[in-house]
Amino acid sequence: MYKPNFKITNKILNHIAEIYASRELILNASLLPKWEVKLRKEAILKMAHHSTSIEGNRLTIDEVNKLLQGKDIAAWEKDKKEVLGYVKVLEYIDDLGEKGVDKITEKIILKIHKLNTLGILKDSKAGRYRKVQVAIVNGSGRVTFQPPKTSQVPSLMKGFVAWLNSKKARELSPVLASGIAHYEFVRIHPFVDGNGRTARALATLILYLRGFDTKRFFALDDYYNEDRSRYYTALQTVDSETIDITKWLEYYTEGVAVSMGKVKLVILDLSLDRRLKDQKGQIYLNERQMKVLKHLQTNPKVTISEIQKMFDISRDTANRDLKLLLENELVRRRGKGKATYYELA
């Protein structure tokens, strides 16, 4: 079984203390559902943009936003497929959380990779461990990292997943566990392509399933994308012999602290603005209404017939659910007659 090699330094402790202070404020903030939906949608947008951008995706955040709204954009098909695939991964992560999954299996990791590379890699490579040797090269063609041999990948992944679900891993802070998993996955490099996106998605999944990011407000990839060279340098600070990941974890926890600090500032601003709360009072939504809002976080629109099919309910019931969402300006109606649809306000 995999055994990570690292030390807990003052830097790591300080970052984790900062992270948990921000998390406490964020999760206990009193927010209207409208703001919660907007924060989740913004997190999805940022993750889809930054995680793919790190690996060279050329879409701007504005283009990603338009793409997620269902609008046509002039861009390479591969770039669009990468972004849409990552959104599918985030939806899958949400589904796993809703089902109460508490064990991360190889099957789940393979599914994440398959969604990440759908339409980009051949079926024989999407969601399947690599069958060829790969190497990481820099812009001048020099090999900067040589992943383990192809023959070692299956056993390394089994040992890695066994550790991920072990008592020792579960006793760690979810932040440390996600940082360790991020590095070790990149080191094994189990796929021919899409390893980085899958590693970052796996880190997100760990935080979510272990109860750290229960509101799904955190987008951690923007920090790493803002200075890509530092991200890759941090990955390369690990000695190939000792595989001591202390320096990497100092960098990783710093990134989580900075990213969560940004969310905290937004939450503080929203919490100070009591105008809507005083005007409307607290809004209580039923489970169907919350699921409609969740659907609209990753889909540009929804029709009343789609809502009926989602929950197997009558048109009248669907209309009643929509009425509260419309009255509280959580969604807005577009189109007329049979062409009527609803989108986030």
Q: Write out the catalytic residue numbers.
A: 189
SS3 per residue for the chain = CCCCECCCCHHHHHHHHHHHHHHHHHHHCCCCHHHHHHHHHHHHHHHHHHHHHCCCCCCCHHHHHHHHCCCCCCCCHHHHHHHHHHHHHHHHHHHHHHCCCCCCCHHHHHHHHHHHHCCCCCCCCCCCCCCCCCCEECCCCCEEECCCCHHHHHHHHHHHHHHHCCHHHHHCCHHHHHHHHHHHHHHHCCCCCCHHHHHHHHHHHHHHHCCCCCCCCCCCHHHHHHCHHHHHHHHCCCCCCCCECHHHHHHHHHHHHHHHHHHHHHHHHHHHCCHHHHHHCCCCCCHHHHHHHHHHHHCCCECHHHHHHHHCCCHHHHHHHHHHHHHCCCEEEECCHHHCEEEEC
